[in-house]
């Protein structure tokens, strides 16, 4: 049986060898339905940038599988993990439990020659939400804030759900333009409120309406004049988790989450593009280069950040990752229950698709549209033939133009999944 490494080209197999820079994610499933049994291990390339889609209906193991991939990055041998860096965008607040070993599945892990293992993750939460996390007994490492000055007017408008050509939008544009002229990027929400009270010639009700939005933004707990150093999120060999789960009660909470993701994605891409250029210049001068790490961003519930039917503040930044990410070296993993709700360009750029069971016709059709050409059977046949076992999935690998059935391996770290009070029961 040939060795299976998803996402690795023949050239890279020669250059790096079959295993280096890959992660063990599961085993090949041979046979159909109840007859299926696991065979050869399946590895996934981590040394090159990829766009990966992780799909499946509710409770089929998508978030779990993303955690498995992230585990492989952080537990890779040092010479590999040093060239990688990973961030999980966690809108449901389920990845903090990676800090604990998966003792519950010790027997299952043993069958896979694996052991329960706690992961050395860095969990970041919005500064203004510390109390919630303390109340819920969720262990976090650090807080973060963003600088309002780094956001574009259109980002604010999208988050506030206002149009730029209505009076509130025109005032918003004026406030931000004047502030940027006067202070550069060095201003906070209080400055924005002050400018909205006084600048331009606007009706009192327009001012009040915009100020109300600014006051609401204060409640989000993500802004400060200074802002955090977002470089911390992309340290070599580290897995950072951004817990964005506590916006539940906020109107438009997905827009706020998207604001955070959009800003972060933009910053990382810009930073990576300039460091790549620096590396190239050094190389031309004959100087030694230190490859900057490949940044992997894992996004759970990705259709909320980069949907098919409207734009969010994260849409354009994430599309840039998808379209030009190869060169600067950024990888994106997009996880969703509903691939048809995911932006069609993002979907079509996936070079690896991992799909657990799907039943909705619209979702299966969305996948058929992107990778039909090298499949021997109809996609539904592959999916129907999957056994009921947890973690069973099909994988479409654009590099080898092959489709595999596989069973994702059990997690070494604990997956709290849908059990929010799980820590208290430990």
Ligand X SMILES: Nc1ncnc2c1ncn2[C@@H]1O[C@H](COP(=O)(O)OP(=O)(O)OP(=O)(O)O)[C@@H](O)[C@H]1O
Which residues are at the interface with ligand X (CB under 6 A)? 56, 58-64, 337, 390-391, 408, 410, 415, 417
Binds 276: which of ligand X, Mg ion, none (CB < 5-8 Å by kind): none
User: 414, 406, 416: which is closest to 25 by C-alpha?
Assistant: 406
Closest CB to ligand X among residues 111, 203: 111
Give how far Cα 90 sits from Cα of 220, 365, 382, Å.
Answer: 16, 27, 30
Under the binding rule (CB under 5 A), the answer on residue 338 touching Mg ion is no
Q: Are 86 and 234 within 8 A, CB to CB?
A: no
Q: How far is the CB of 105 from ligand X (least distance, A)?
A: 7
Binds 304: which of Mg ion, ligand X, none (CB < 5-8 Å by kind): none
Q: Which helix (H) or strand (E) holds 281?
A: helix 253-284
Closest CB to ligand X among residues 55, 195: 55
Give the pairing type, strands 4-6 and 392-397: unpaired
d(CA 368, CA 362): 10
Q: How far is the CB of 337 from Mg ion (least distance, A)?
A: 8
253: buried, middle or exposed (CB in 10 Å: 19+, 13-18, 0-12)? middle
CA angle, residues 150, 247, 136, in degrees to nearest 5? 125
Q: How far is the CB of 392 from ligand X (least distance, A)?
A: 8
Q: How far is the CB of 334 from ligand X (least distance, A)?
A: 13
Q: How far is the CB of 38 from ligand X (least distance, A)?
A: 11
Backbone angles phi, psi at 12, to 5 degrees: -70, -30
Binds 420: which of ligand X, Mg ion, none (CB < 5-8 Å by kind): none
Residue nearest to ligand X (CB): 391
Q: How far is the CB of 361 from Mg ion (least distance, A)?
A: 22
Q: How far is the CB of 58 from ligand X (least distance, A)?
A: 4
Query: Binder to Mg ion among 22, 60, 63, 234 (CB under 5 A)?
Result: 63
Binds 28: which of ligand X, Mg ion, none (CB < 5-8 Å by kind): none
Closest CB to ligand X among residues 85, 337: 337
Q: How far is the CB of 403 from Mg ion (least distance, A)?
A: 23
Closest CB to Mg ion among residues 63, 85: 63
Q: Choose one: 43-51, 56-64, 76-84, 307-315; the region binding Mg ion (CB under 5 A).
A: 56-64
Binds 60: which of ligand X, Mg ion, none (CB < 5-8 Å by kind): ligand X
d(CA 102, CA 240): 19
Closest CB to Mg ion among residues 246, 292: 246
d(CA 177, CA 163): 16
Q: How far is the CB of 91 from ligand X (least distance, A)?
A: 10
Binds 415: which of ligand X, Mg ion, none (CB < 5-8 Å by kind): ligand X
Closest CB to Mg ion among residues 63, 315: 63
Q: Are 419 and 426 within 8 A, CB to CB?
A: no
Closest CB to ligand X among residues 60, 159: 60
426: buried, middle or exposed (CB in 10 Å: 19+, 13-18, 0-12)? exposed
What token pair was written down for 37?
Answer: 């049994």
> DSSP for 14-79?
HHH-SSTTEEEEEEEEESSGGG-EEEEEEEEE-SS--EEEEE-STTSSHHHHHHHHHHHHHTS-HH
d(CA 273, CA 315): 19
Binds 200: which of ligand X, Mg ion, none (CB < 5-8 Å by kind): none
- Which residues form the interface with Mg ion (CB under 5 A)? 63
């Amino acid at each position: 049986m040939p060795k299976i490494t998803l996402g690795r080209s023949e050239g890279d197999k020669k250059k790096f060898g079959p295993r280096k820079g890959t992660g063990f994610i599961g085993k090949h499933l041979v046979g159909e339905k109840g007859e299926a049994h696991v065979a050869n291990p399946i590895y996934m390339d981590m040394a090159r940038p990829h766009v990966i889609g992780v799909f499946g209906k509710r409770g089929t193991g998508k978030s779990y599988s993303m955690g498995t991939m992230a585990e492989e990055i952080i537990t890779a041998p040092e010479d590999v993990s040093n060239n990688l860096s990973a961030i999980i965008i966690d809108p449901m607040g389920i990845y903090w439990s990676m800090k604990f070993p998966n003792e519950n599945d010790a027997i299952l892990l043993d069958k896979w020659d694996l052991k329960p293992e706690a992961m050395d993750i860095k969990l970041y939460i919005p500064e203004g939400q510390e109390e919630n996390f303390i109340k819920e007994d969720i262990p976090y490492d650090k807080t973060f804030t963003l600088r309002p000055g780094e956001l574009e007017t259109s980002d604010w408008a999208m988050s506030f759900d206002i149009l730029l050509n209505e009076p509130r939008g025109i005032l918003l544009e004026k406030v931000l333009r004047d502030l940027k002229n006067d202070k550069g990027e060095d201003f906070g929400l209080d400055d924005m409120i002050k400018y909205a009270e006084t600048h331009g010639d606007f009706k009192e009700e327009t001012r009040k309406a915009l100020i109300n939005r600014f006051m609401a933004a204060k409640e989000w707990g993500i802004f400060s004049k200074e802002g955090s150093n977002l470089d911390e999120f992309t340290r070599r060999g580290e897995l950072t988790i951004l817990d964005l789960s506590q916006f539940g009660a906020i109107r438009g909470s997905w827009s706020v989450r998207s604001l955070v993701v959009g800003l972060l994605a933009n910053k990382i891409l810009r930073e990576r593009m300039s460091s790549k250029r620096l590396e190239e210049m050094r190389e031309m001068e004959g100087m030694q280069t230190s490859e900057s790490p490949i940044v992997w961003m894992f996004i759970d519930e990705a259709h909320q950040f980069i949907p098919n039917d409207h734009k969010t503040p994260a849409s354009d930044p994430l599309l840039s990752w998808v379209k030009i990410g190869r060169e600067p070296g950024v990888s994106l993993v997009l996880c969703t229950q509903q691939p048809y709700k995911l932006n069609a360009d993002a979907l079509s750029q996936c070079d690896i698709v991992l799909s657990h069971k799907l039943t909705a016709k619209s979702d299966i059709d969305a996948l058929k549209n992107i990778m039909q050409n090298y499949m021997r059977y109809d996609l539904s046949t592959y999916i129907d033939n999957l056994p009921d076992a947890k973690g069973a999935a099909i994988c479409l690998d654009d590099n080898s133009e092959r489709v595999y059935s596989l069973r994702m391996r059990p997690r070494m770290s604990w997956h709290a999944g849908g059990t929010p009070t799980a820590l208290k029961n430990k």
